[in-house]
Amino acid sequence: MKRFAGGIALLLLAACGESAPSPPSTLLKPNPPEAPKPPEVPAAKGPVDKKGRSKSPELFKKYMAIMDENGEISESIKEDLEKKKFDSAIKPKLLKLRKNAETAKELHYRKDADEDMALSTDFDLFLMKLKKLEEATWTEENSSGLLENLNARCVTCHDTFQ
């Protein structure tokens, strides 16, 4: 009889728009929350040789990584000069520029043999001029001219090969 009365009570509640009392929480097992989806990580994009001048994308990426590092070194030299840091701060950076230039030259990343030879020749010229900058004493009096000379060496190749 209790079931019958409980059923009638549920029908009346449903008819009136009321909801039935919820059963005790111990009987219901809540659904576990969905694990958050990991954020989508876009594929790492590196420099792309849009002009198709390199032998391979890998060589181009290596070359551009070296050139980007050289750009950062050049900027840090400029910052050192603004902070009145001269010879002792700049000489190690010039050595790193030399090492990077030698590494980039050895990549021979251009597929056109004439362009590769021209680039190699420009690297030789850059390395020769860089040697003079390495031998110079960077002081407050001459550092701006030496920096200008260094930047001019970089611009020569940038104008030709970009």
Closest CA to 96 of 123, 130, 120: 130
Name the pTM for this structure.
Answer: 0.69
Report the pLDDT value the prediction gives residue 104, as an integer from 0 to 100: 94
pLDDT tens-place string over residues 85-118: 999 999 999 999 999 999 999 999 999 999 999 9
* Full residue range of the structural domain in which residue 93 is found: 57-161
Report the pLDDT value the prediction gives residue 96, as an integer from 0 to 100: 98
- Residue 143, number of CB atoms within 10 A of its CB: 21
| Assigned domain for 148 exists | yes
Structure token pair of residue 52: 């198709």
The domain that holds 147 is classified in CATH as 1.20.120
Report the pLDDT value the prediction gives residue 3, as an integer from 0 to 100: 62
| Assigned domain for 33 exists | no
How many domains does the chain divide into? 1
| Assigned domain for 27 exists | no
| Assigned domain for 143 exists | yes
Low-confidence ranges of the chain (pLDDT < 70): 1-33, 35-44
User: CA-to-CA distance for 141 and 123, rounded, in angstroms?
Assistant: 28
Report the pLDDT value the prediction gives residue 39, as an integer from 0 to 100: 65
DSSP states of 4-59 as a string? Answer: HHHHHHHHHHHHTTPPPPPPPTTT--PPPPPPPPPPPPPPP-----TT--BS-HHH
| Assigned domain for 135 exists | yes
User: CA-to-CA distance for 158 and 162, rounded, in angstroms?
Assistant: 6
Report the pLDDT value the prediction gives residue 158, as an integer from 0 to 100: 79
Report the pLDDT value the prediction gives residue 154, as an integer from 0 to 100: 86
| Assigned domain for 32 exists | no
User: CA-to-CA distance for 67 and 59, rounded, in angstroms?
Assistant: 12
| Cβ-proximal residues to 143 (8 Å cutoff; 6+ apart), any chain | 81, 86, 90
| Assigned domain for 47 exists | no
